């Protein structure tokens, strides 16, 4: 049984301009020790999916349908108190902007000790301090003893993200959700943090959901990739087949938007035409069809149904047609 | 931190000097001089005054001598009550104002912060709309309007509390309430806005994602940070309450410094007006300085500047 | 979802033809209807019931203050010893005072003065405050440093006390109140405008305009000032009640307009003495002050909420 199984998740935002279906019927699963990458443009619903799993969607948003089965239990049925016991301990999360994710008026040590006091194995204060130091070392922070008494603003962005990761793994969670953890960082720091994340994942063998808008970032890290567009899943598969043979026109477009080293200089980088859809009144049928070079009449009329083989799922009428399921067309 | 306080201290000294200087020159601008009034002043007093203000000396010398007196805390004699100095008046009446002000500040802080936090946590709900409506109502009612209304309702009509005068704790309720309601409303609104801002911060979200208890997130992450701007407002608030006391003390006939101040304005008792102005100015500037220091103590980013 | 699609439906060949480019639901149609910034602000303002109430109140108060005294049968200073201390009645809706003057007319006059003070405070902020802050923020460097030190020092001075002192020296009177308030009412605004300009200077669209060679004047008029408008308008509106309070306060302690002229503050102050026998003398002017302040606060709050882009959903 998968560690996490999300079924037909629906999280809507009830704004006064209308209902935004930020996540509209998305299903996926993550096994123990597996790394799932969720890729999409901003507004595709990938962060809202993460917040829905944590049950931290804020007003005016609300998860209105679906199931989130974690280790056999539907998180959506838990009381607030029961859910709180899962957060940090069994499911942890790292956010996008390390500059604002730590309380500016508390020391880094305070953040850590506060969390470690929930670990029943750490009885004395010294146990906790030792563990905090061990964690900071594990995420590559030098002079951890000194760093504990410092305030967040005395840390650089990359260092803060390391602290956030240390906090996330402090209670040995089964699942770690990372929401664009490198986006706000410098390119060189990005690479270091990715190295660290890989190292930690291998060492502790955690399941990871890694959210990004940049397919390139997770190429060497994820086991499987799920691509989202406008609140819906458009394609899912193992990382090799997605990169080798992207089927959905949107995935193809995303991949050709990633610059490659072997690219001819005269070649122009591909940009997806058009802009992301208005989420209050999304396009009918396939939400990508206004920007799709292969759009057919059916694409504007009907929501695509799943096509593909085992371990591969694509929601695209073009792929569906090429599979030859419907005779004569 | 050290540099920060030194800079603020310098600013405070300059501000104080400006006030004293402005006071001095304004006093000399009063048509016909401060002591030539309709009725002749007794010779002894006039001599005393001239000595005090060195009126026969050249202006610059008078100014320096005046500065010297102020530095030594000597605010001069009263013109209307020759047997008393401004220092005497302050010593006698300021404790009364301070007592009244203390209770008003305490009430405003406690009720304001509670109402503001509750409103922020229930944003958009009935209790929020309700308290914010009353907040805006009380912001629109200056203390000199609230005071006589309370006096009329609770004193004259209902006989629940004494109409005026000073003595028991019962005498304190109405004036303290009149002084506190406006600042309570300001604090409630400030707390609410600050709290909403903090609650939308990533670190609150991150703290919840770490599974910290709701109460802990509320107190250690939200309230603690939200109160920084509120605490710094506390000192300007004290200033506002003290200027409000000018009129409230007059209305309730409370023998505080505020009433003396207003009476001396009615009587054009210039030396008292000038002396008390300098005293109040020093007090309020000191409050400002305390606000800055508190801010630095609460926010580590400034502390280690 | 996939359940409600039948294979039969998909057999229609026309469904599988490419859509011509022009028939696609273009991105233009799909984005939200375009609204201008101020149109959006107005739309949100209109939805705020208290803000609209405040605006209506303001218009009514303005009408009473400007037109009321002209059509009132009683001049504000006409004494009538046959009608002393009358309780509110049909002839005198707010009653009469201790020399038989019609309180309704006097309150309308007082409201005039309050509104004039409010208008003056707004002007001082808009002219001196915006100019001072704008120049300081725009020039930067040494000029900015010196200009802001001056503001810092003036800020540390308890304004009300100096205003009281000024009034003692200058003597009571409306013009002197204007002078005394004018000295100080621009300080907060200068700071706000400066910080707005500093933030905006760093914004990309201003940099872009710079790069494109926009002149300084154009940059100020076209880019910086319109964008700093929001906070300026809100500050002005919310500061007006303070100025009105200050005038009322000064009049209350006998430093404001002198008899037989009436300000709401001096009316309320006079009324306090009659609180046992003729409470309306205090009550109506007090309510008038509160109503004016309330109207401005409602409007100011509404403006702030509808101008704050963070509240836009």
- Residues of chain A contacting B228 with CB distance shorter than 8 Å: 105
A61-70 vs A73-74, strand pairing mode: antiparallel
- Residue C15 has phi, psi (to 5 degrees) of -60, -30
What is the pLDDT averaged over residues B263-290?
82
Q: What are phi and psi of B255, to 5 degrees?
A: -75, 55
Count Cβ atoms below 10 Å from residue A177 Cβ, excluding itself: 28
Q: Which of B18, B32, B145 to mutate to test the interface with C (most CBs of C within 10 A)?
A: B145
DSSP letter at A18 equals: E
Read out DSSP for B122-177? Answer: TTTSHHHHHHHHHHHHHHTS-HHHHHHHHIIIIIIIT-SS-SS--SSTHHHHHHHH
pLDDT of residue B40: 60
CB contact, 8 Å: C3 with chain A?
no
**In this predicted model, what pLDDT tens digit does every residue of B188-231 receive, in sequence order?**
988 988 888 888 888 998 998 998 888 888 888 888 888 888 88
Task: For residue B41, name the pLDDT band (cuts at 50, 70, 90).
Answer: low
Contacts of C169 in chain B (CB under 8 A): 26-27, 29-30
Q: What is the pLDDT of residues C201-230, one digit of tens each?
A: 777 666 776 677 667 666 666 666 666 777
CA distance A92 to A54: 8
Cα dihedral sign, A253-A195-A37-A152: negative
Q: Is the pLDDT of residue C4 over 80?
A: no
Which residue of chain C is at minimal alpha-carbon distance from A280?
A: C32
Q: Taking residues B110-134, what's their average pLDDT?
A: 87
Residue in A89, A105, A153 closest to B211 by CB: A89
With CB atoms and an 8 Å threshold, state whether A296 touches C19.
yes
- Spell out which residues of chain C touch residue A274, defining contact as CB-CB under 8 Å: 26-27
Listed in sequence order, the DSSP H helices in chain A are 46-54, 80-86, 108-116, 125-138, 144-147, 157-169, 187-204, 215-218, 239-244, 249-256, 317-322
For residues C75-98, give the mean pLDDT.
74
* Residue C30, pLDDT score: 45
Which of C153, C269, C293 faces B11 most closely, judged by CB atoms?
Answer: C153
3-state secondary structure A72-87: CEEHHHCCHHHHHHHE
> Cβ B206–A92 below 8 Å, yes or no?
no
pLDDT score recorded for residue A178: 92
Residue tagged 């007082």 (tokens) = C110
Contacts 24+ apart (CB under 8 A), C279-282: C279/B152, C279/B156, C280/C87, C280/C88, C280/C94, C280/C95, C280/C103, C281/C85, C281/C95, C281/C97, C281/C98, C281/C103, C282/B148, C282/B149, C282/B152
List phi, psi (to 5°) of C214.
Answer: -70, 140
A25 vs C contacts (CB less than 8 Å): 1
Residue C33 sits at the chain A interface (C-beta within 8 Å): no
Query: How far, CA to CA in Å, does C12 sit from each of A298, A302, C2, C7?
Result: 10, 13, 18, 10
CB contact under 8 A, C18 and A284: no
pLDDT tens column, A232-261: 999 999 988 888 888 888 888 888 766 665
How many contacts (CB atoms, under 8 Å) link A and B?
Answer: 72
**Closest by Cα among C243, C245, C143 to C184:** C243
B145 to C298: CB separation less than 8 angstroms, yes or no: no
Q: How far is CA A165 from CA A180, A212, B201, in A?
A: 13, 16, 18
DSSP A15: E
Asked if A80 and B214 come within 8 Å (Cβ–Cβ), the reply is yes
Q: What is the spatial distance between Cα C184 and Cα C198, in angstroms, rounded to a whole number?
A: 23
Cβ–Cβ < 8 Å for A307, A316: yes
Highest mean pLDDT pick, A125-134, B257-266, C128-137, C246-255: A125-134
DSSP symbols for B60-105: HHHHHHHHHHHHTT---B-SSSTT-BHHHHHHHHHHHHHHHHHHHH
Chains linked to C by 3 or more Cβ pairs within 8 Å = A, B
The two structure tokens encoding residue A206? 């955690």
* pLDDT score recorded for residue C222: 66
Let me know: does C231 contact C170? Beta carbons within 8 Å: no
Which residue does chain C place closest to B275, by CA atoms?
Answer: C165
Distance from CA of B286 to the nearest CA of C (A): 9
C46 touches chain A (CB under 8 A): no
Nearest to B277 by CA among B253, B260, B293, B289: B260
Number of residues that make up chain C: 313
Q: Respond yes or no on whether the N-terminal peptide bond of residue B289 is cis (omega within 30° of 0).
A: no
Mean pLDDT of C36-42: 74
Q: Is the pTM of this model over 0.90?
A: no
Query: Which tens digit of pLDDT belongs to each residue from A163-185?
Result: 999 999 999 899 999 998 888 78
Name residue C81's beta-bridge partners.
none
Contact of C150 with chain B, judged by CB distance below 8 Å, is answered with: no
| pLDDT band, very low/low/confident/very high, at A48 (cuts 50, 70, 90) | very high
CA distance, residue C37 to nearest chain A CA (Å): 16
B29 in contact with chain C, both atoms CB, cutoff 8 A: yes
The alpha-carbon gap from B63 to the nearest alpha carbon of chain C, in Å, equals 18
CA–CA gap between residue B223 and residue B198 (Å, rounded): 8
Cβ A147 vs Cβ A63: under 8 Å: no
Q: Tell me the two tokens of residue B197.
A: 């801002």
Q: Which residues 166-205 of B are in CB contact (within 8 Å) with A? A: 201-203, 205
Residue of chain B whose Cα is closest to the Cα of A153: B301
B305 band by pLDDT with thresholds 50, 70 and 90: very low
C34 touches chain A (CB under 8 A): no
* Chain C partners within 8 Å of B277 (Cβ): 161, 164-165
How many CB atoms within 10 Å of residue B73? 9
What would the pLDDT profile of C159-207 be if each residue is shown by its tens digit? 788 888 888 887 777 788 888 888 778 888 888 888 888 877 777 666 7
* Shortest Cα distance, chain B CAs vs residue C245, angstroms: 7
Token couple for A20: 């935004």
Q: Give the per-residue pLDDT at C246.
A: 85
Question: Which of A283-292, A317-326, B16-25 has the least mean pLDDT?
Answer: A317-326
The residues in C 226-245 lying below 8 A from B, measured between CB atoms, are: 241, 245
Q: How many CB atoms lie within 10 A of CB C49?
A: 10
Q: Which of C72, B45, C222, A105 is nearest to B55 (CA)?
A: B45
Q: Are C120 and C112 in contact (CB under 8 A)?
A: no
Q: Which residues of chain A does C305 touch, with a Cβ-Cβ cutoff of 8 Å?
A: none
Whether chain C has a CB inside 8 Å of the CB on A17: the answer is: yes
Return the pLDDT at C205: 67
* Higher pLDDT pick, A181 / B161: A181
Nearest alpha-carbon partner for C24 in A124, A291, A298: A291
- Mean pLDDT on C97-118: 84
Q: Is B215 part of the contact surface with chain A (CB cutoff 8 Å)? A: no
On the question of pLDDT at C103 being above 70, the answer is: yes
How far is Cα A164 from Cα A282, in angstroms, rounded to an integer?
36
| C27/A297 touch (CB, cutoff 8 Å), yes or no | no
Buried (b) or exposed (e) across B260-275, using 16+ Cβ within 10 A? bbbebbeebbbbbbbb
Residues of A in contact with C31 (CB under 8 A): 275, 278
First to last CA, chain B: 6
- Say yes or no: C211 contacts chain A, CB-CB below 8 A: no
Partner B contacted by C298 (CB < 8 A): yes
Q: Per the CB < 8 Å rule, is C158 touching B136?
A: no
Among all residues of chain C, which has the CA nearest to that of B28? C169
**Separate counts of helices (H) and strands (E) for chain A:** 11, 12
Among partner residues C5, C7, C27, which is closest to A274 by beta-carbon distance? C27
Which chains contact A through at least 3 pairs of Cβ atoms less than 8 Å apart? Answer: B, C
- What H or E segment, with its residue span, contains residue C53? helix C49-71
Token couple for A108: 């880094």
Could you tell me which of C66, C96, C124, C102 has the C-alpha nearest to residue C246? C124
- Evaluate whether B145 touches B198 at the Cβ level (below 8 Å): no
Q: Which two tokens stand for residue A66?
A: 């679906």
Q: What percent of chain B has pLDDT over 90?
A: 5
Assign C66 to helix, strand or coil: helix
- Which chains would you list as touching B if contact means 3+ CB atom pairs under 8 Å? A, C
């Amino acid at each position: 049984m998968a560690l996490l199984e999300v079924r037909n998740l629906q999280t809507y935002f009830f704004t006064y301009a209308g209902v935004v279906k930020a996540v509209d019927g998305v299903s996926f699963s993550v096994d123990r020790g597996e790394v799932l990458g969720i890729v999409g443009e901003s507004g595709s619903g990938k962060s809202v999916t993460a917040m829905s799993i944590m049950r931290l969607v804020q007003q005016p948003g609300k998860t209105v349908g679906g199931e989130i089965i974690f280790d056999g239990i539907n998180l959506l049925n838990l009381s607030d108190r029961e859910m709180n016991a899962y957060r940090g301990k069994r499911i942890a999360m790292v956010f996008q902007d390390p500059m604002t994710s730590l309380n500016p008026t508390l020391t880094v040590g305070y953040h850590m000790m506060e969390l470690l006091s929930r670990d029943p194995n750490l009885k004395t204060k010294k146990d906790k301090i030792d563990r905090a130091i061990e964690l900071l070392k594990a995420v590559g922070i030098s002079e951890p003893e000194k760093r504990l008494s410092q305030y967040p603003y005395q840390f650089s962005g990359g260092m803060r993200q390391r602290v956030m990761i240390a906090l996330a793994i402090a209670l040995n969670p089964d699942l770690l959700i990372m929401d664009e953890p490198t986006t706000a960082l410098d390119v060189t720091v990005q690479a270091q943090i990715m190295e660290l994340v890989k190292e930690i994942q291998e060492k502790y063998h955690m399941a990871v959901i890694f959210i990004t808008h940049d397919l390139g970032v997770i190429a060497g890290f994820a086991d499987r990739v799920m691509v989202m567009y406008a609140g819906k899943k458009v394609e899912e598969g193992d990382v090799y087949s997605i990169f080798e043979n992207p089927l959905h026109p949107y995935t193809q477009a995303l991949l050709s938007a990633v610059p490659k080293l072997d690219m001819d200089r005269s070649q122009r980088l591909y940009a997806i035409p058009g802009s992301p859809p208005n989420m209050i009144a999304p396009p009918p049928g396939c939400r990508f069809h206004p920007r799709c070079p292969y759009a057919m009449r059916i694409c504007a009329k009907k929501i695509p149904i799943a096509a593909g083989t085992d371990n591969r799922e694509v929601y695209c009428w073009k792929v569906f047609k090429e599979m030859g399921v419907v005779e004569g067309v | 931190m050290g540099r920060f306080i030194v800079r603020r201290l310098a600013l405070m000294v300059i501000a104080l000097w400006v006030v004293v200087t402005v006071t001095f020159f304004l006093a000399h601008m009063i048509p016909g001089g401060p002591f030539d009034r309709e009725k002749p002043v007794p010779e002894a007093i006039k001599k005393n005054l001239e000595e005090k203000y060195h009126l026969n000396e050249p202006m610059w010398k008078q100014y320096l001598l005046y500065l010297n007196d102020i530095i030594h805390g000597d605010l001069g004699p009263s013109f209307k009550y020759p047997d008393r100095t401004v220092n005497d008046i302050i010593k006698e009446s300021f404790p009364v104002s301070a007592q009244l002000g203390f209770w008003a500040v305490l009430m405003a802080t406690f009720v304001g912060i509670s109402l503001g936090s509750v409103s922020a946590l229930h944003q958009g709900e009935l209790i929020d709309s309700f308290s914010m409506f009353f907040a805006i109502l009380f912001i629109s009612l200056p203390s000199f309007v609230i005071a006589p209304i309370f006096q009329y309702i609770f004193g004259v009509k209902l006989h629940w509390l004494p109409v005026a005068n000073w003595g028991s704790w019962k005498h304190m309720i109405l004036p303290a309430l009149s002084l506190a309601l406006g600042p309570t409303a300001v604090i409630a609104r400030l707390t609410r806005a600050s709290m909403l801002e903090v609650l939308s911060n990533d670190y609150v979200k991150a703290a919840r994602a770490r599974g910290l208890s709701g109460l802990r997130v509320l107190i250690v992450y939200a309230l603690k940070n939200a109160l920084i701007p509120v605490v710094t407002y506390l000192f300007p608030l004290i200033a506002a309450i003290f200027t409000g006391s000018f009129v409230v003390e007059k209305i309730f006939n409370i023998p505080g410094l505020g009433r003396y101040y207003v009476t001396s304005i009615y009587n054009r008792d210039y030396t008292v007006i000038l002396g008390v102005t300098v005293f109040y100015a020093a007090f309020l500037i000191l409050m400002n300085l305390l606000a800055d220091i508190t801010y630095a103590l609460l926010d580590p980013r400034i502390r280690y500047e | 979802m996939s359940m409600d699609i039948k294979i039969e439906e998909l057999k229609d060949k026309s469904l599988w033809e490419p859509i011509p480019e022009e028939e696609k639901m273009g991105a233009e149609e799909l984005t939200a209807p375009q609204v201008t910034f101020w149109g959006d602000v107005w739309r949100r303002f209109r939805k705020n019931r208290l803000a609209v109430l405040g605006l209506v109140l303001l218009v009514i108060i303005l009408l009473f203050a400007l037109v009321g005294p002209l059509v009132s049968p009683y001049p504000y200073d006409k004494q009538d010893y046959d009608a002393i201390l009358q309780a509110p009645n049909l002839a005198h809706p707010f009653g009469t005072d201790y020399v038989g003057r019609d309180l309704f007319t006097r309150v309308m006059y007082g409201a005039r003065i309050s509104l004039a003070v409010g208008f003056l405070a707004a002007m001082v902020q808009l002219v001196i405050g915006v100019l001072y802050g704008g120049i300081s923020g725009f020039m930067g460097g040494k000029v900015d440093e010196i200009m802001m030190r001056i503001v810092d020092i003036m800020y540390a001075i308890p304004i009300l006390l100096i205003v009281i002192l000024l009034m003692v020296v200058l003597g009571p009177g409306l013009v002197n109140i204007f002078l005394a308030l004018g000295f100080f009412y621009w300080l907060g605004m200068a700071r706000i405008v400066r910080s707005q300009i500093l933030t905006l200077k760093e914004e990309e669209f201003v940099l872009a305009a710079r790069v494109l060679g926009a002149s300084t004047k154009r940059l100020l008029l076209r880019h910086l000032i319109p964008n700093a408008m929001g906070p300026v308008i809100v500050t002005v509106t919310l500061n007006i009640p303070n100025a009105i309070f200050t005038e009322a306060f000064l009049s209350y302690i006998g430093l404001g307009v002198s008899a037989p002229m009436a300000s709401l503050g001096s009316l309320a102050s006079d009324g306090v003495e009659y609180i046992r026998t003729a409470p309306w003398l205090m009550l109506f002017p007090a309510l008038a002050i509160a109503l004016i302040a309330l109207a401005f606060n409602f409007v100011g709050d509404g403006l702030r909420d509808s101008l704050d882009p963070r509240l836009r959903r």
